Amino acid sequence: MIDLRSDTLTLPDQEMLKTILGAKLGDDGRTHGLQRGEDLTVNELEDLAAQMTGKEAGVLFPTGTLGNTAAVLAYCQPGDKVLVDEQQHLYISEKVLFDPGFGQLQPVSYRHDENGFPVLEDIEAALKGGGIRLVCIENTHNFTGGACIPLENMKEIYDLAHQYQVPVHMDGARMFNAAVALNVSAGEMCRYVDSVMFCVSKGLGAPVGSLVCSNQEFTLKVREKRKLLGGVMRQAGIIAAPGLYAMKNHIERLQEDHDHAKCTAELIQGLKHTHMVGQAVTNILVLDVNDLGLTPEEYCQKAEEKGLLIKPVLSDKVRLVFYKGITKEDAIEAARIIRSLDNE
């Protein structure tokens, strides 16, 4: 069975797991100066994350959802308007920020174009309308097939938002996939956002962990929100050690996942009933299978019967995600199965 449901299925290798045994542990929740904890391995990971993103400080979270939630709540008060992509993950899937019983924020949406890039005119119109407290972007963009926002587009959004004194937060769960695809550093990308959340799990392959990076003042606010949300951990070095290994060793290998996604994409071009959403630029493919007369759930069931596990997304699409452990042979076989389903 080829499992392409998500890159969250990436498993740690033995070298990564060995780092846990030698990790210097301490109580990350027992804080001192700048609210830093006593777990030296966590502190090392947070410092590396800040360095690589070009920010002053970082904060470790168990999940990306919690990281995004803490960051956005550090900017906003209940009732504030937050500008989000109409298919942004923190709006469509995470939801807690806009739940009337929890975050109580008001979403204002902007569109993306056929490449998955934010429509600048929508963002400008919303900012001109007033009342926007925060602009959120997602890079890579999950539901458009792993689209990457180029640096020039990010700069335009950043400059425009700052004209209205509005900060920009990036959900960069797969930020390093974007950096590899665009052939830029994470620091170059993060120059055009005020804060960023990224995962050391997913394609980077650590078992657990996400970080939020920003300036020191804002990071202290994020730490306060993390505590309120129950995100403070104890000997979290057992999480941080694999995360350090991932960031030091697994960024460049993301290109392999991109190549496998492109391999599958090339082999399913021109199908009569199965259509790709966007282009194959990173490790995600999103397919529109509506012309087959099947629901996404029915399509995924038929794919599973042939040996391919994939996932329904949104209300009418399916998604394939490539990651460490998936081979080129897997990519070729996945394409064969998709082609066979198109011919049924």
This prediction's pTM: 0.96
Dihedrals phi, psi of 101, to nearest 5 degrees:
-95, -5
Q: Round to whole Å and give the CA distance between 114 and 147.
A: 10
Flag whether pLDDT at 147 surpasses 80: yes
| Confidence class for position 66, pLDDT limits 50, 70, 90 | very high
Buried b / exposed e along 182-210 (16+ C-beta atoms within 10 A): beeebeebbbbbbbbbbbbbbbbbbbbbb
Query: What was the pLDDT predicted at 238?
Result: 98
Please tell me the predicted confidence (pLDDT) of residue 32.
85
pLDDT at residue 35 in the model? 87
pLDDT in tens, 194-216: 999 999 999 999 999 999 999 99
- To which residue do tokens 């030296």 refer? 40
What is the pLDDT, as a whole number, of residue 344? 77
Closest CA to 28 of 39, 20, 40, 14: 39
Q: Does 7 score more than 90 pLDDT? A: yes
Identify the pLDDT of residue 305: 97
Cβ distance 176 to 203 under 8 Å? yes
Confidence of residue 33 (pLDDT cuts 50, 70, 90): confident
Average pLDDT over residues 243-253: 98
For residue 73, the model assigns a pLDDT of 98
In the structure, what pLDDT confidence band is assigned to residue 341 with cuts at 50, 70 and 90?
very high
Categorise residue 221: left if φ over 0, alpha if ψ from -120 to 50, beta otherwise.
alpha
Give the pLDDT score at 324: 96
Enumerate domains of the chain plus CATH numbers: 12-249 (3.40.640.10), 253-342 (3.90.1150.10)
Give the whole-number percent of the chain exceeding pLDDT 90.
97
Q: 310 with 300: CB under 8 angstroms? A: yes
Compute the distance between CA of residue 67 and CA of residue 90 in angstroms, rounded to an integer.
11
